[in-house]
Amino acid sequence: MQKSDLAGKESETGSLLVVNLRGLVNTKSQVRTTLEQLSLIKRFNATIVPDTKVYRGMLNLSKEHLAWCRVDPATVEKLLRTRAEVSDGRRFKDDDLSKAGYASFSQLASDVASGKTRLDGTRGLRRFFRLSPPRGGFKRSIRRSYGQGGVLGENKELIQLVEKML
């Protein structure tokens, strides 16, 4: 197998929804740099990244601040319709969708969820979503990993939490 074949297979494995749940006060410079590269500088910002070894390494490095899970097209479509913004701060609307070369939100959502396209690859679309704090609050600690009874790290219940944040 050639290197280009491997790159194509990695990009088609799917995507991850990543949410920053903690602030940047007293963080290590390496973690801060990683969060800046992911465009997750502020608390309650979310992004969708391809599920590759490089991004998994970045997520594991900053796991004390982030929660992530596999994302489905329905959740991506809901995020795009409610929280997507154009680079000048306006909401991402249907006319912006046609400028980006997509016929519908569901088509763009399925491409992003499958890993065929990235948010920053879509013309004019910001790489992150601004979410609000969850309605009803957190039911688990935001200082512990998912395995220890918290919400950080790889979290299978993150989709339900993001639904409360929309």
* Confidence (pLDDT) at 39: 94
Q: Indicate if 20 and 91 belong to the same structural domain.
A: no
CATH code for position 112: 1.10.15.30
Condensed to tens digits (0 to 9), the pLDDT of residues 40-63 reads: 999 999 999 999 999 999 999 999
**Pair (49, 94) in one structural domain:** no
- Which one-letter DSSP state was computed for residue 132? P
**pLDDT value of position 8:** 44
pLDDT in tens, 115-166: 899 888 788 889 999 999 999 999 999 999 999 999 999 999 999 999 999 9
48: domain range?
3-71+131-156
Neighbours of 58 (CB within 10 A): 20
**Of 19 and 103, which is predicted with more confidence?**
19
Check whether 6 has a pLDDT greater than 50: no
* Same domain as 52, residue 28: yes
Helix (H) or strand (E) holding 29: helix 29-37
- 161 domain residue, yes or no: no
Tell me which H or E stretch contains 82: helix 73-83
Is there a single domain that holds both residue 144 and residue 64?
Answer: yes
Within this chain, do residues 12 and 58 fall inside the same structural domain, yes or no? Answer: yes
In a domain, 64, yes or no: yes
23 lies in some domain: yes
Same domain, 63 and 138: yes
Coil, helix or strand at residue 64: coil
pLDDT of residue 79: 96
CA 116 distance to own-chain centroid: 15
One domain for residues 144 and 88: no
Global model pTM greater than 0.95: no
7-16, 42-51, 93-102: which range is least confident on average?
A: 7-16
**What is the number of domains present in the chain?**
2
So what's the pLDDT on residue 122? Answer: 81
- Same domain membership, residue 11 and residue 88: no
Q: 10 and 65 share a domain? A: yes
For the segment 56-87, what is each residue's pLDDT rounded down to a tens digit?
999 999 999 999 999 999 999 999 999 999 98
- For position 151, which CATH number holds? 3.30.1390.20
User: Would you say residue 1 has pLDDT above 70?
Assistant: no
